[in-house]
Structure 1
């Protein structure tokens, strides 16, 4: 009835652990008739992408596929589905757990709980990762989806399952059993010969199979009796088997009587007949254990109160009786059992006739066992079946934190949504706990409504509930980009959270730190360091990694290279090497290491770290990091003389997020190149509250010939603390050039010396090297400057660095071919595409193709922009 097992260690990965019955193939009982025709058909699984086994209940679908599994050389992952698995996150988690159980870790992603499945692009991206991982399996692998009808109509059986099957690699095969046709497009698979369909007609017992079934039970019927039996059952395997059980050991006359009694309602009558013939103790055991849909000996003992030996005896008797019971074997561990759906319905009807106190006591014992073993979802499902709302609220109150800490917020919401509205409102803490996952799934409006309902029930002394509501409001403010409000709510939460509440205190410190990352990165880093100490006390590796990754990024942004490397290393060693590729949060660590490698001029290390960053960022993209990395790479390409590529990267970054661009600070030569086709673009507020954005605006002004930004840059120089090495250096570089333009030579040399000294002490001079093309004007002044021997030596080193690094900047036109330049010269004269084609003796399509290439190389979108840029360069 449940999926999830909550590990004792808070730092386990947020991967669902299934009840064994969810991912175990049922064993085939001795004496089961082998369905030769069905078995022969199933041999075609390896040649099909999808095999469907579709028929009503009782047609032996599961038995037939289980027989095939026992005989096939293929590796088989088994997924037993029910209505609880209709949620796409749960469905795909079952699939992944089943695959992991037979194929080992193929690098399958474990973030299916975080995927917004209603977003088609996001769901397809997640499934693409799964498909790529499955393709790495050596040999063929079949994935059995038992009872797929249970999830029909959801996103699972709609677009996501259809997408998955359409893109299966050749080595992966899906086998789906269902009581109704699959609701996904199958026509194309049929046409391609990739669909194998097994239906009711093939699954019906043949006369020979029915005869074998009766003979194996000791009932030897003559031809006439067999014919009447077949007329009664219609080849329906469930009816045939039940009738055979009724006739076991009987003569022809007794068998005839059973057949006659079964004619009116074969299924219901025969099941009741079989159940009624079971020994009283065994029947009591079966009725009592029907409170759950699968069990092992320990769970059965907990439910019934029987001794371990007594339970094992009853289970052995039940298994030997040939009843509609499926054994789910587990190598080296106790087997699990489940009743066939038809038998389970009969048993549960009898269970409902028991006195209510008895039913409640057994359900309570089952739920207690689930909770003790960590099968929380099963406990919630059972509580829902019992309509025990207080128990569900208690489970949420006990488990919300472990779910939050492992990024499994949606499970909390799913549990809360099982509650009637009046019950939910009567439990304010549960309302508040459901707010964050509600915001993630349904948006902030409904989440705020839940917080409001919780706060309406606040009483004197409810400090923790108030603090928890403020925590949720802080999260909602982040989702809405309201950083000031986020900081305010986080501060209120921290005032009322108890000192021992390390998880929530750490999260609020992280949100506070995040809200300051652009306004005051030094203070932001201090807050992240404080958050790290709180998160370490939780023992949760994911939380610790998050804090360390953010610290690494901030240290890199500030130019504190040694600390950036230290924090990044600490984040990486939290996980074994084999697990790191499945931890998207480690993208932050690789980002920081790439930045440091670039600043230290280590191209090989930069390339390796950039690759690792991009692999991990693909699974959990942080837009601001991606934008700033593009700027860093653009600076590098610019320094290598690849101006066209550098300009294209910066153009994309500026279009996406100028604030993120400012954290990486593009070089002045790169800004000039970008401005050539984007006059007037970009932020121009040199008094912006974010110091890096203000410096970027000032740099844009300087490169556009606006030297009135000098005062704003001087203010940045004065206000920036020395811990912010990058901003200190970059601001002084720009201030020195502005001073030189104003004729203040002494101030210019003092400022560039300070910049060089700060950069040298911090262990990188990349920012001087990247701006060398601009700083070359200061070289003659520095050569002639007065000073002692130490000053002259430092000036000489600075001049050498600038002169060695000052390569002529390439313009966008450098990427154009001669033919493309020729076309642009004609177009600049005002010619149309048709006129240009006529003058150059080419087709119009050729001209259009060349223009498309030209616009792409120049990073522009129109003929007017291209002409303006090339005229600025003097090409036209």
Structure 2
């Protein structure tokens, strides 16, 4: 049970003074998704947001968090609870989803919540989450990132926190989604100034004294804090009154900070501040290394208690950072007084960062230090893992910063640059670089260079790159030969190549249709990738593994693979501020898994982030796979126009950039032919059938899909005998190749063909075998997307060998059409009877809906009132037993009701 008191806004404080300037910052504007209010305790954050909430005309849902809410399921239960409490009762079903979904499926429930907001809060609303600093779970931060990335227009989230949330705020600022108020913007009024000195800084001032400081600082919180710290160390306030006015330049700000804060500190505190000014983030262990001491934790806690411009980054007093202005001033003092010491301090910091695996932060320091030899060494050692962790573009940028000729004269850096271009899909840039590297290695061998082992390892990497390039040329023999060469040499090198090599081997087996061998190779790629710490390779290998497991009909195993790999990634590579590592293969496998099981909202969850990749530009192979999965999901929904658009786009990319794709893409044309059938476009389906070329496919999965679809078209064209001729050898090959999902499709379509020939007694055993194979994996959509004849056969199935619970659920999911008792004759135009025939007006409305007209346009065309059109549509839906336009058109085509 949820505590309703957490949904209550705090009682208004009549003593609180409205802060209009900040209230204006929080006001709604076009494109805004997030208001972020960050400041220490006692800075009036909650009071400010409460004042703003009181001015809103749109509903405000309020949630106050506590430490117990740092659990994903509980957190989202309270989020939906706050929305329901604010008056959106329709979202109760979303709340129930967070109770029932498995932990790894919570993003599906979040997708349902987003969709619920779209449907139910069209006028807009506000969601305030107070005390967000209570949230430490990285999983919740990732989920909140997803929620805000896809937040519908009109919904504004307000986060109130004592610490900066671990969210991609910088990315959202670039998109102008965020307005934020940080401590330096929480300017105080005169009365607030008095309370600030008394309650926060423990300095008792009279109203007159507070007024003088407030006038001097003009309400600037950072300057007031400076004045307070200065006043602490002076016998009277006279010096405060005589200080300069608020500085108006960076130099004056620095001078003010140095004179009013740093110079007033005890020597040990000042030394600590100066010694740690080179660190962008602070933790005790790092500070101990930089200072060569052991008391840094005590110093950090003391500085935090003194409010000395130290901003906590967590709730455990482990990580901090200085206020930017404060750190810049400290660094300037160090440059003025002891510039030679800067390099020593930064070097110590860099070594600590490297030892503790903060590689990117260490590299940022090296770039600032301009220590190019050290940077080159760090990239040699860590660049490979960075590239395989998804940071190939930053690595290329860092390589470009090295002095001219450094990369070209260093084989390891040259290879690193080649990998960077490979993962950036700049394949045209690879060949000349590979040739230059091979020439360099040959010269080193001729000169008897001592690094013979390194040269062997680089030759293996070159062979591996060339194997992938061979795949883009459809030269599978060369690709296989090169991969096998790498496997022979790999144990003699120290370079971690096994994961990438086995991934290539998995691609080769997949291309040949040897799915068991492909699974074995990809499982090796995942295992070695985890050992080698290559998350991108683990995701890609695991994603393709799940895709293959799905297509073999092992859906539970495919889902288990996706979940276990995602959990490994999230355990070892957890930084919510960085873009989430995604695998096109894995997300598309999950789309297919949840689509097949009828959990379409979960399928949407994994499609949504891929659409962003399409918009921003992704490599062509991924583009095609994404659009294929998108089209299949749209086909399942009956949105045939969306399916066609996605397939057309995929075909365009495939025609233009086939040479950049290292695998054979799915059979786009076969899926489009199924769309034609569903839309009743028999002539287009016939045209595809006449022009299909089964010999074009290297991957047997694509060839099988081509043949199964051809059989469907033949049946639709009243040629079931030809379909049987095509399916007979396919039944044996899919069973021999262990392509179980395709075998289920073959058996199902085969059964329909036999039934069309009047051989229902022969058809039933085939359908029963298909259902038996499907029941263990909970396969549903495959049958639902078949014809009404198949649906009738399923309803008539009485075999005890099929799991009764599975069969009952499948029957419940079938469209509620009333099929004729006897099998339809060859050439029959209608597959089902209506409950009641459509009237002439209803038929006219159906045709106009098919033209894509809106209700008001239909009313104009028919010269009737809008309410009359709505009545016709309501009656039409009832007779067709559907709930939407898309379903109505799909059912009408199935019944041959459209011209």
TM-score normalised per structure 1: 0.57
Of 454, 459, 462 in structure 2, the residue corresponding to residue 466 of structure 1 is 459
1:818–1:421 distance in 2 versus 1, CA, 3 Å: farther
SS state of the match for residue 312, structure 2? Answer: strand
1:51–1:593 distance in 2 versus 1, CA, 3 Å: closer
Task: Kindly report the root-mean-square deviation, in angstroms, between the aligned alpha carbons of the 2 structures.
Answer: 7.3
State how many pairs are aligned: 701
1:143–1:169 distance in 2 versus 1, CA, 3 Å: farther
SS state of the match for residue 249, structure 1? Answer: coil
Q: Kindly indicate whether residue 129 of structure 2 is the aligned counterpart of residue 141 of structure 1.
A: yes
Match of 1:675 in 2: 682
1:487–1:408 distance in 2 versus 1, CA, 3 Å: farther
Q: CA deviation at 1:371?
A: 2.2
| Distance in 1 (alpha carbons) for counterparts of 2:33 and 2:898 | 64
Within a 5 Å distance, the mapping from 1:363-374 to structure 2 comes to 363-374=346-357
Match of 2:95 in 1: none
1:251–1:335 distance in 2 versus 1, CA, 3 Å: same
Q: Kindly indicate whether residue 286 of structure 2 is the aligned counterpart of residue 299 of structure 1.
A: yes
Q: Kindly indicate whether residue 667 of structure 2 is the aligned counterpart of residue 660 of structure 1.
A: yes
SS state of the match for residue 527, structure 1? Answer: helix
| Distance in 2 (alpha carbons) for counterparts of 1:757 and 1:130 | 35
Q: Kindly indicate whether residue 533 of structure 2 is the aligned counterpart of residue 526 of structure 1.
A: no
- Asked whether the equivalents of residues 544 and 586 of structure 2 are also in contact (C-alpha less than 8 Å), the reply is no
- Asked whether the equivalents of residues 255 and 329 of structure 2 are also in contact (C-alpha less than 8 Å), the reply is no
Q: CA deviation at 1:246?
A: 5.5
Match of 1:642 in 2: none
SS state of the match for residue 680, structure 1? Answer: helix
Q: CA deviation at 1:382?
A: 1.3
| Distance in 2 (alpha carbons) for counterparts of 1:328 and 1:628 | 44
Match of 1:688 in 2: 696
- Asked whether the equivalents of residues 494 and 508 of structure 1 are also in contact (C-alpha less than 8 Å), the reply is yes
1:717–1:665 distance in 2 versus 1, CA, 3 Å: farther
Q: CA deviation at 1:292?
A: 1.2
Within a 5 Å distance, the mapping from 1:273-672 to structure 2 comes to 273-274=259-260, 275-306=262-293, 308-309=294-295, 311=296, 324-326=308-310, 328=312, 331=315, 333-353=316-336, 358-400=341-383, 402-403=385-386, 407=390, 409=392, 412-413=395-396, 415-416=398-399, 419=402, 422-435=405-418, 438=421, 443-445=426-428, 457-459=440-442, 460=445, 461=452, 462-472=455-465, 490=483, 493-494=486-487, 496-498=489-491, 504-514=497-507, 517=510, 520-521=512-513, 523-539=514-530, 547=541, 550-551=544-545, 553-555=547-549, 557-558=551-552, 561=553, 565-566=556-557, 568-569=559-560, 572=563, 606-607=597-598, 612-613=602-603, 615-620=605-610, 624=625, 627=628, 659-660=666-667
Q: CA deviation at 1:366?
A: 0.9
- Asked whether the equivalents of residues 127 and 157 of structure 2 are also in contact (C-alpha less than 8 Å), the reply is no
- Asked whether the equivalents of residues 435 and 447 of structure 1 are also in contact (C-alpha less than 8 Å), the reply is yes
| Distance in 2 (alpha carbons) for counterparts of 1:129 and 1:400 | 36
1:627–1:107 distance in 2 versus 1, CA, 3 Å: farther
1:429–1:674 distance in 2 versus 1, CA, 3 Å: farther
- Asked whether the equivalents of residues 632 and 643 of structure 2 are also in contact (C-alpha less than 8 Å), the reply is yes
Q: CA deviation at 1:568?
A: 4.6
| Distance in 2 (alpha carbons) for counterparts of 1:693 and 1:394 | 51
- Asked whether the equivalents of residues 287 and 347 of structure 1 are also in contact (C-alpha less than 8 Å), the reply is yes
Of 696, 705, 722 in structure 1, the residue corresponding to residue 736 of structure 2 is 722
| Distance in 2 (alpha carbons) for counterparts of 1:465 and 1:175 | 50
- Asked whether the equivalents of residues 505 and 521 of structure 2 are also in contact (C-alpha less than 8 Å), the reply is no
| Distance in 2 (alpha carbons) for counterparts of 1:667 and 1:262 | 71
Deviations 1:388-409 (A, max 9, x none): 2333344344444554565555
Q: CA deviation at 1:303?
A: 0.5
Q: CA deviation at 1:570?
A: 5.5
- Asked whether the equivalents of residues 303 and 310 of structure 2 are also in contact (C-alpha less than 8 Å), the reply is no
Which is greater in Rg? 1
Q: CA deviation at 1:529?
A: 1.3
TM-score normalised per structure 2: 0.55
1:163–1:72 distance in 2 versus 1, CA, 3 Å: same
1:176–1:215 distance in 2 versus 1, CA, 3 Å: closer
Deviations 1:188-239 (A, max 9, x none): x9xxxx999999895576897599699989999998x999988876665655
1:709–1:486 distance in 2 versus 1, CA, 3 Å: farther
| Distance in 1 (alpha carbons) for counterparts of 2:112 and 2:722 | 55
Q: CA deviation at 1:817?
A: 3.9
Match of 1:11 in 2: none
Match of 1:105 in 2: 72
SS state of the match for residue 141, structure 1? Answer: strand
Q: CA deviation at 1:384?
A: 1.4
- Asked whether the equivalents of residues 509 and 531 of structure 1 are also in contact (C-alpha less than 8 Å), the reply is yes
1:269–1:859 distance in 2 versus 1, CA, 3 Å: closer
- Asked whether the equivalents of residues 194 and 207 of structure 2 are also in contact (C-alpha less than 8 Å), the reply is no
1:673–1:108 distance in 2 versus 1, CA, 3 Å: farther
SS state of the match for residue 667, structure 2? Answer: helix
- Asked whether the equivalents of residues 587 and 616 of structure 1 are also in contact (C-alpha less than 8 Å), the reply is yes
Q: Which has the higher contact order (CA 8 A, sep 6+)?
A: 1
| Distance in 1 (alpha carbons) for counterparts of 2:436 and 2:706 | 42
1:844–1:564 distance in 2 versus 1, CA, 3 Å: closer
Of 811, 819, 827 in structure 1, the residue corresponding to residue 840 of structure 2 is 819
| Distance in 2 (alpha carbons) for counterparts of 1:465 and 1:646 | 50
| Distance in 2 (alpha carbons) for counterparts of 1:329 and 1:648 | 49
| Distance in 1 (alpha carbons) for counterparts of 2:218 and 2:675 | 84
| Distance in 1 (alpha carbons) for counterparts of 2:764 and 2:693 | 27
Structure 1: runs of 5+ lacking an equivalent = 1-34, 55-60, 75-97, 110-124, 146-159, 599-605, 638-644, 777-802, 828-836, 861-865
1:478–1:163 distance in 2 versus 1, CA, 3 Å: farther
SS state of the match for residue 299, structure 1? Answer: helix
SS state of the match for residue 140, structure 1? Answer: strand
SS state of the match for residue 351, structure 1? Answer: helix
| Distance in 2 (alpha carbons) for counterparts of 1:291 and 1:105 | 36
- Asked whether the equivalents of residues 717 and 732 of structure 1 are also in contact (C-alpha less than 8 Å), the reply is yes
1:501–1:134 distance in 2 versus 1, CA, 3 Å: farther
Q: CA deviation at 1:379?
A: 1.2
1:144–1:712 distance in 2 versus 1, CA, 3 Å: closer
| Distance in 2 (alpha carbons) for counterparts of 1:183 and 1:689 | 45
- Asked whether the equivalents of residues 38 and 182 of structure 2 are also in contact (C-alpha less than 8 Å), the reply is no
Match of 1:68 in 2: 44
1:415–1:73 distance in 2 versus 1, CA, 3 Å: same
